[in-house]
Chains A and B, each alone.
Chain A
Amino acid sequence: MRPHWKLFLSSLGALHADRMAERWESARRLLRQNGVTYNVYGDPQGIERPWPLDLVPLLVPAEEWRQIEAGVSQRAQLLNAFLADLYGPQALIRSGRLPASLIYADPGFRRACHGLPVPGNQYLHFYAVDLVRDSDGSWWVLGDRTNTPSGAGYALENRAVLSQVLSETYRYCQVERLNPFFNAFREALLALAPGRNQPRVVLLTPGPFAETYFEHAYLARHLGITLVEGEDLAVRDRRVFLKTLSGLEPVDVILRRLDDDFCDPLELRADSSLGVAGLLQALRAGTVVVANAIGSGLMESMSFKSFLPSLCRHLLGEELKLPSVASWWCGQDAELAHVLDNLDRLVIKGANRDVVLDPIFGADLSAARKELLRQALRQRPWDFVGQERIVLSTAPVWQGTGLQAHHVVMRVYAAAVGGGRYKVMPGGLTRVAPEPGRLVVSMHSGGGSKDTWVLTPQRHHEIVGVRQPPQRDLRAAAEARAIEIRGELRTVGGDLPSRVADGLFWLGRYAERCDSAVRLLRGSASRLFDSGGVPGANDELDPLLRLLVWHNLIPAEMAKPETSVRELLPALKAAIFDPDHPSSLRANVQRLHRAAHSVRDRLSRDMWRVITQIDRESRGPAGSGEGAAMLQPLDELVTSFSALFGLEQESMVRGPGWRFLTMGRRLERAVQVVSLMRALRIADAARPVDGRQATSLSATLEVLLELAESFMTYRERYFAVVQKGPVLKLLLVDPDNPRALAFQLAILRDQLAGLSENSRRQATIYNPTATALAIVSEARDALTQPDLVRNAALLRTTLDTLAANLPEISNLLAHAFFSHAFARSA
């Protein structure tokens, strides 16, 4: 066993399955709570897969790392110089060092980008390389990532989790920290906008459905830059602007996570709805920097690999330090001949990203299939590369009861830090093949991931086996905390794109909508179980059933007194957990989750944690979940929604983002109160003439108080049996009851007024904010009508008017702040 492994294992203690399982469970919990996910394309739910992390990190000793570091940095420089030539003078082609067909046969060569000015010839700002180790322990390059390299955010998250779960071992092994790398990258991005006082850097994401959206949001937070989608940006006067609530703000640097051909529908893919029309014009005018430069994806093509050793000598005057696995691009006659003659010992791969082809292992093919492959190679030789097979080494992976050897690929990152230099992240994202012996390693095919620990040099000669006394692990905690704090610290007064305001507004609305649905469903479910199976035994069940029907949660015929509990239960269960039921709680939680997902970088970690919890709790009880098992998730959900509301109040800066979230909340609550009263026909509930009617009225009022969370308040204030007048006062006009309509309207007025002050758009003749304010003040006036709670007709018309007008505020806000003109081809 190599010494660094002894070091690691000695600090881990005996590998007891129980202890490891415990650690594994807590790692999984942390990942789940932090919402670390990986999206899989083509899944109808846009499902987020939980991120798989192995407990055993990949260990790299210091001197081994020094070589990797030098190699990766050199390779980044080389690829950058390569790009600078191909998108500039093309001397490599002119001089005959490269065949011209190499770029012309490659759809990744973006002709529109040729000759665009690139400051300092810095094309490649963020680079990743996949490395594998052969059986001799040497590292080889498997592939380069130069377009939008992914995974660095996952590496950070892996570190945050593992440094907590294995805190003692982490400290004991003296692992290189990751944060200095990200700080340097952030500084480098800011420095790309020289002369600008407060440069604006944004991270451009394809959006919440992108495979690695979690990471986009995470990195944006970690780097303290604004996460934007293409529709948040606009080009005016050949300059890129961010559409914010207060107008257009100039953008200086775009950190790009959008594939290069999608970046500008005007000059690249016309069918892209994810890009920014006119972006290339802004680049041509030199008013913005895009990192990585559009077109950099070219260097990912397998066809380029075999030219690197000679180009390294030519461009950098050095030998290539990290070898690529030997390959032959079939676009040249001699190379094609070699590949055709040696199919048995080669892997055939696509020459560029547009050739969709799983690696073909020549040796595995039948004679007939081999002949077909030969034909394909001869037909379009430039589409293929033959690559030598190498014997991969393995790394230990924890598998429930012990360690298993799996193949691994280590992805290492480098960032341009100015002056053509690169800084290499001391660590990386290591991916693990899904089972022993599998050669294809990818997150798509169900593999796992590992943290990568680069050991610091000084630790190296310490005597293995001397356990230091356990102490509070300050260093691990500090790193985890630094990552955490960095995330919480957003750029103060950060830009709020209109789309994000929209997302937060709807997050507020859905959160409140779900909250009131949970209370209604819990009230109904608990009464059903209490009634002992006899409907009508419980007077409050009747108004609750009417409310369920009103909210389209159960079919109307179910509200009849003769419906048995046995019939009601499945309907109620569907109303709670069925995602295909359009009004169900689950469906609304999914909407809530989507809204939250789209503004994820704006939410604190704790808020996100609660939202994932809500998502989980609303999936329904495990197993049959009959009877009272239905109640437990509802109870948990009530608590979770309260926690979410509490965090909104206590953990969010009162900026424009909070303003929209709160307006969404309050508007929805106002709408819900009005809706409750209309559904229960409270205006028409006449003075009871007999005992039955009296019972029915008081049951209705109690349900109203319960659902409006105001029972305690009522008791405190009135001590008496529930009566219609006081109940209505408490829920409609009481300015101090946080559940009362008047309370919501007061907040809406304040927030709208604040919005109107900040908005530059009020100059226009048609002012939607002012119209919304007018609706709110009309509603407030209506509540001051002296006879309101006594005059049934007046109450009825007032409630009807409110029900018609309040939702209009949503549309007005949408019109004023969220409405985007979508780009389309003309």
Chain B
Amino acid sequence: MPSPDRPDDAPPPVRYRARHRTRYDYGEEVPVSHHLLHLAARAHPRQRCRRSQLMVGPQPAVRADYSDYFGNPVTYVAVQEPHRWLDVASELEIDVRAPLAFDAGATPPWERLRHLARALAGADEATTIGQFVFDSTLVRGSRDLLDYAAPSFSRSRPIGLALLDLNSRINEDFAFDATATTVSTPLDEVLTKRRGVCQDFAHLTIGCLRSLGLPARYVSGYLRTMPPPGRERLVGVDASHAWVSVWVGGESWVDLCPTNGRLADADFITLAWGRDYDDVSPVRGVIMGGAGQGLTVSVDVEVIDD
């Protein structure tokens, strides 16, 4: 969240080391695999990446780094010799600052933002804000989503209050259940079943907001593994996490984590954002051949002292 006027007495940033490992076992030899990786941390006003390292085994024949349309760093790797497994290990060292305190009651009425979002002029604002109001591959606005969101968005309610309410309603109404859904479970099924994982809850929140005409992005990242002293361990550690960033006017965005029912803070490390999971999935690939496919993912985020 951009916060140009950070007071001098703000708490110091937290320094993390994040390790993310993805391993595929193909069962049979695979002659070629292509992968797109969203594993480096994007430019972010509250983050500073000190070190970023990516190791892929077997050694890829091709590696190319570039930025995607949303400004996220992407890496393309191709292994072109027969291989039975693929190991993608990424390691980051990164400083994360907590956002400024969010005065939800002082935000503009949500209808005002809907109006502004439609009237955005200029390519930059349209790219950074306007494009997140429309449907995307995995998240389409709908009547059902609108109906679900409606109780939180009463007339002229400040958007901050409406968002906090929606966030905690989703957190209460929906059960975290890693077996209930897959990557391809459609949103209306999540809405009916009332269960899912962090990706589903992020998509659901975005779907609600887009149905209302409000811009919202999907954020892919990590959570700190061990909570600060005296706080509970978060849901979604040990894996890559997802939450939602919502435009609240000007250059301000507020990050909501419906999975944990709270605002994202210095415990959240942002890797990439896009319209939905399909835009920024950490590891996406196409392999030729292969039999079954075993997948092991581990994420470990520890606080380090320098």
Binding site for B on A (CB under 8 A): 90, 93-94, 96, 100-101, 104-105, 107, 111-112, 114-115, 234-238, 265-267, 270, 277-278, 281, 284-285, 333, 380, 382, 821-826
- A contact residues around B278 at 8 Å (CB): 270
Please tell me if the beta carbons of A284 and B36 are within 8 angstroms of each other in the complex: no
- A contact residues around B101 at 8 Å (CB): none
Please tell me if the beta carbons of A100 and B287 are within 8 angstroms of each other in the complex: no
CA distance A266 to B68 in the complex (A): 14
Instruction: Identify 14 new A-B residue pairs, CB closer than 8 A, beyond the known A238-B78, A284-B64, A821-B289.
Output: A96-B121, A104-B126, A104-B134, A114-B69, A115-B69, A236-B32, A237-B62, A277-B34, A277-B288, A821-B32, A823-B288, A824-B286, A825-B286, A826-B290
Please tell me if the beta carbons of A821 and B126 are within 8 angstroms of each other in the complex: no
Please tell me if the beta carbons of B69 and A112 are within 8 angstroms of each other in the complex: yes
Please tell me if the beta carbons of B76 and A234 are within 8 angstroms of each other in the complex: no
- A contact residues around B52 at 8 Å (CB): none
Of A100, A112, A270, A822, which one neighbours B126 at CB under 8 angstroms? A100
- A contact residues around B34 at 8 Å (CB): 235, 266, 277-278, 281
Of B30, B61, B122, B284, which one neighbours A266 at CB under 8 angstroms? B284
Given contacts A111-B69, A270-B284, A822-B288, contact A101 B134 (CB under 8 A): yes
Please tell me if the beta carbons of A382 and B289 are within 8 angstroms of each other in the complex: no
Chain B residue, CB-CB nearest to A277: B286
Number of contact residues on B: which range applies? 35 or more
Please tell me if the beta carbons of B64 and A285 are within 8 angstroms of each other in the complex: yes
Closest 4 CB pairs of A and B: A100-B126, A821-B289, A277-B286, A111-B69
- Interface membership of B24, Cβ < 8 A: yes
Given contacts A100-B123, A104-B131, A107-B135, contact A825 B36 (CB under 8 A): no
- Interface membership of B66, Cβ < 8 A: yes
- B contact residues around A267 at 8 Å (CB): 36
Name the distance in Å between A736's Cβ and chain B's nearest Cβ: 45
Please tell me if the beta carbons of B285 and A266 are within 8 angstroms of each other in the complex: yes
- B contact residues around A236 at 8 Å (CB): 32, 61, 78, 80
B17-61 residues at the A interface, CB under 8 angstroms: 24, 30-36, 61
Name the distance in Å between B89's Cβ and chain A's nearest Cβ: 16
- B contact residues around A278 at 8 Å (CB): 34, 78, 286
Name the distance in Å between A580's Cβ and chain B's nearest Cβ: 34
CA distance A236 to B78 in the complex (A): 8
- Interface membership of B154, Cβ < 8 A: no
Name the distance in Å between A525's Cβ and chain B's nearest Cβ: 47
A-B contact pairs, 21 of them (CB 8 A): A93-B126, A101-B126, A104-B131, A104-B134, A111-B70, A115-B69, A235-B78, A236-B61, A237-B80, A277-B286, A284-B64, A284-B66, A285-B64, A822-B288, A823-B288, A824-B286, A825-B285, A826-B285, A826-B286, A826-B287, A826-B293
Name the distance in Å between B92's Cβ and chain A's nearest Cβ: 23
Please tell me if the beta carbons of B130 and A382 are within 8 angstroms of each other in the complex: no
CA distance A114 to B86 in the complex (A): 30
Please tell me if the beta carbons of B122 and A94 are within 8 angstroms of each other in the complex: yes
- B contact residues around A93 at 8 Å (CB): 123, 126
- Interface membership of B120, Cβ < 8 A: yes
- A contact residues around B78 at 8 Å (CB): 235-238, 278, 281
Of A90, A237, A823, which one neighbours B287 at CB under 8 angstroms? A823
Contact with A along B1-27 (1 / 0, CB 8 A): 000000000000000000000001000
Most buried by B among A96, A115, A237, A267: A267
Name the distance in Å between A640's Cβ and chain B's nearest Cβ: 40
Name the distance in Å between A563's Cβ and chain B's nearest Cβ: 49
- A contact residues around B36 at 8 Å (CB): 266-267
Chain B residue, CB-CB nearest to A113: B69
Name the distance in Å between B259's Cβ and chain A's nearest Cβ: 24
- Interface membership of B298, Cβ < 8 A: no
Name the distance in Å between A150's Cβ and chain B's nearest Cβ: 26
Name the distance in Å between A91's Cβ and chain B's nearest Cβ: 9
- B contact residues around A824 at 8 Å (CB): 286-287, 290
- B contact residues around A90 at 8 Å (CB): 123
- A contact residues around B289 at 8 Å (CB): 821-822
Interface of A, helix, strand, loop or mixed by DSSP: loop
- A contact residues around B133 at 8 Å (CB): 104
Please tell me if the beta carbons of B285 and A101 are within 8 angstroms of each other in the complex: no
- Interface membership of B252, Cβ < 8 A: no
Name the distance in Å between A293's Cβ and chain B's nearest Cβ: 16
Chain B residue, CB-CB nearest to A265: B286
- A contact residues around B185 at 8 Å (CB): none
CA distance A803 to B236 in the complex (A): 60
CA distance A96 to B124 in the complex (A): 11
- B contact residues around A96 at 8 Å (CB): 121-122
Given contacts A94-B122, A101-B126, A821-B31, contact A237 B286 (CB under 8 A): no
Please tell me if the beta carbons of B64 and A281 are within 8 angstroms of each other in the complex: yes
Please tell me if the beta carbons of A266 and B286 are within 8 angstroms of each other in the complex: yes
Chain A residue, CB-CB nearest to B295: A826
Most buried by A among B31, B86, B120, B287: B287
Please tell me if the beta carbons of A821 and B121 are within 8 angstroms of each other in the complex: no
Name the distance in Å between B289's Cβ and chain A's nearest Cβ: 3
- Interface membership of B156, Cβ < 8 A: no
- Interface membership of B182, Cβ < 8 A: no
CA distance A793 to B10 in the complex (A): 97
- A contact residues around B62 at 8 Å (CB): 237-238, 281
Most buried by B among A104, A281, A382: A104
- B contact residues around A238 at 8 Å (CB): 62, 64, 78
CA distance A416 to B86 in the complex (A): 44
CA distance A285 to B133 in the complex (A): 32
CA distance A101 to B134 in the complex (A): 9
Please tell me if the beta carbons of B286 and A101 are within 8 angstroms of each other in the complex: no
Chain B residue, CB-CB nearest to A90: B123
Of A101, A112, A333, A382, which one neighbours B68 at CB under 8 angstroms? A112
Name the distance in Å between B302's Cβ and chain A's nearest Cβ: 29
CA distance A267 to B38 in the complex (A): 12
Chain A residue, CB-CB nearest to B135: A107
Name the distance in Å between A330's Cβ and chain B's nearest Cβ: 12
Given contacts A101-B130, A104-B131, A235-B34, contact A823 B122 (CB under 8 A): no
Name the distance in Å between B63's Cβ and chain A's nearest Cβ: 10
CA distance A107 to B136 in the complex (A): 7
Most buried by B among A107, A270, A380: A270
Please tell me if the beta carbons of B130 and A100 are within 8 angstroms of each other in the complex: yes
Name the distance in Å between B64's Cβ and chain A's nearest Cβ: 7
Name the distance in Å between B276's Cβ and chain A's nearest Cβ: 12
Please tell me if the beta carbons of A281 and B134 are within 8 angstroms of each other in the complex: no
Name the distance in Å between B8's Cβ and chain A's nearest Cβ: 37
CA distance A824 to B31 in the complex (A): 13
CA distance A285 to B63 in the complex (A): 12
Name the distance in Å between B285's Cβ and chain A's nearest Cβ: 4
Of B32, B127, B290, which one neighbours A100 at CB under 8 angstroms? B127
Name the distance in Å between A259's Cβ and chain B's nearest Cβ: 15
- B contact residues around A281 at 8 Å (CB): 34, 62, 64, 76, 78
- A contact residues around B31 at 8 Å (CB): 821
Chain B residue, CB-CB nearest to A269: B137
Chain B residue, CB-CB nearest to A285: B64
Most buried by B among A93, A100, A234, A822: A100
CA distance A122 to B70 in the complex (A): 25
CA distance A277 to B287 in the complex (A): 9
CA distance A115 to B121 in the complex (A): 22
CA distance A115 to B74 in the complex (A): 14
Please tell me if the beta carbons of B286 and A821 are within 8 angstroms of each other in the complex: no
Chain A residue, CB-CB nearest to B80: A236
Contact with A along B255-287 (1 / 0, CB 8 A): 000000000000000000000001100001111
CA distance A529 to B84 in the complex (A): 63
Chain A residue, CB-CB nearest to B125: A100
Name the distance in Å between B12's Cβ and chain A's nearest Cβ: 37
Contact with A along B239-257 (1 / 0, CB 8 A): 0000000000000000000
- A contact residues around B66 at 8 Å (CB): 284
Name the distance in Å between A770's Cβ and chain B's nearest Cβ: 21
CA distance A12 to B30 in the complex (A): 65
